[in-house]
Structure 1
């Protein structure tokens, strides 16, 4: 709605102007003032869009009123009416921001047309200002996300040109100087933050706020949450930073800041965080590599080590494999044979090894998830189904590394997926042939150091050896003797890598009375002798 204020010291003219039928051009509110001073008082309490005023008035004349309006209400437009056509009046009117200057006597239609023209100007200006304000509000609302996404691009090595980056940083109000040294922190939420995803998100938000409040007192702070779920902070010293010399952030300052942050998080939230301090870097070209090094370093830190401060350059124990995950029978073989109880025992042994050797790192979680997912997918595809068809939404969790970065969650995920597969597969694998295969495999595995000839197996399952051999070949697409040899060789390989067992003892444990014959078969299978196999593995590790 447009509000019009008419100002004239002649009552008859003022009344005549007010009766012009302004509603025809969309002006619903028309105010009147008989002097410049009265108009100034109205402007104090009422928002006026357009003022039509005579120039010659006692007290405050029209030009003075226009100047008063320009100084205090710059968005209010003015139209001057005068019986004088002197250039000086027109010049002063323009200087005071007057929209137009009309000479008396003014016809009603001429005045209405001019007011309609200025009204259109006001409405267009409102639209422009409204769009600008909306854009500014939108930018302000989305500023944290825009900053975060830009930092994620930098961490990935996609900085673009310096000029484009500088433009975006200025637009996003990031007070960082390109070319100056920065520090990097990665924060990992360790424990005490709740089990559900909703709890984790709330605590993560709280940790982020605490970190921002603490860090911003001494540093310019640029933060994001990376694809692995870590809170990443790039810091640049402020000129008044008491712990810096010039643009350099001292190591002691970062150590003290990290410890103070841990103390505040524990004090406010009763939770623990680990903080990794990355190597110094210059913005923007040196950011990606220190981030990669920091990410690699923190993924080596076991989850059981909670509330610690580490540096990216610190040496950590070398990554070791999870032997129980690969020792035969494999998880895939157990699933394929429908040995669900044995599969659960194997899962338990994997997580027991994880705890015993303190291998609960993100890297090992990824190893377990990938290995189990491959096995689950294989079983699903054997049945001409997708994994989601067999297990529901549990299958989709493996696509997000943040959801399965802790051993407890991985164990829960694997257990639920195993339960889902069993409930579907048991109904489809209860025929006698599958049960027979399970019985044969279990007999072989339990007596691998003994005589596991075809006759012994046939006696155990009460079938003729020839029929048993044919049935097994039909179902498993290999001979029983092939399975026995493969099982012996794979188990021998695991024992050579994981233990110091003597070669002759290993041969005996695998059911060979003649160690040289065992070594010959081993070399035929792996291409190297048992000792060469062990030596090569030890050299690689």
Structure 2
């Protein structure tokens, strides 16, 4: 099936030139079609605000809005449009200035037809490459989503419950599956789900997870321990109160039941077992209980933790510097130390924690399969073999490569996406979809380019919107809280006070003076 031609917008205030470009040039020969021909840059800007084209061909000088201003408009808004300018010899200085706005090329008057074909043939080649890249990203995103489903099922629950992680590392682990949250404030609950019938727990879990993801991306469901009946789940929610989390859980279980009932005749029953004010609080308590169950003396546990922290730092430093030979040796030492206790579980937890801390692992789908194999393996020798294979794959993995210009464009698009929505109903996954990137890669790119995490920036935009509403409207504070995406007014008060240094009511009073 033939590819659709690329769309071209022609802008020139000289009617004869404009019509000549439309009628004389065989645009189909170089893979283009003329979407429209306009008489001024002002019309061109209005057109680009409502229509999509791949290329604009514009005169550099026009009566009202010049081609230079049109190029500036495209550049400042990071529109996915290439601009070619037509200029006279005396306007060569302007053409050079236009290069600052990312103008792709320029044609000199009088225009040579062969030059037009050469310029647009080169642009078509670049557009073909970009089109292929977009499709590749879409395929990668689909594979990524499949991997994320498996990571939620196997990897993340294991590393959270088995590893000693700091808050920032817990945050990063959740970003691996495209979820932005603050583990120190995200409340969580543990529930038990039961049903009558032979359906496997994994099928029920996937139905519940998809139900949560379809309607509420702030709610994440993870299994606790083995997949058996009753199925124990950890529900984590960012930006909700405990009461709201429990209400959302009831709603999601009812939703999943309606789906399972229609297909399998299943009815789910659930009960709340634990509720915690924060994910960190839950994990610390769970880890303390596990240590007590193992009967570990406090001194021995402290010594083991100190040794492990030292080994982990050294291993991550070696891998980060590309020194994979010493990383392999240390991996063997860790495995040998843990095998003395004949504990595959302890070794598995450590290897998962190590490789889960390496950014390249989360980005490469084929390497993430190794993480899943780690989660499933029960044999110490096999665990070590998988770990060494992961190191071999890291050595040859192709990390995503983005040009500086592309990275800036991506972040500009994402920030505009957040700002246009006032930060409300904006998720990392939505933003990643917009720019055809995986959530974890976008999260790190955003942090590197802006110095802030994605979730922190969204919160800032929401609170800026709240401050504006407090200044400019008479809306009740609870209404402003809801309008800016905070269903829990107490949580909104806490965030706003941290942002503005005072409560919402005090902020309004001060601005009214």
- TM-score interval w.r.t. the shorter chain? 0.3 to 0.5
Q: By percentage of residues, which structure has more helix? A: 2
Bigger RCO (CA 8 Å, 6+ sep): 2
TM-score w.r.t. length of structure 2: 0.41
TM-score w.r.t. length of structure 1: 0.39
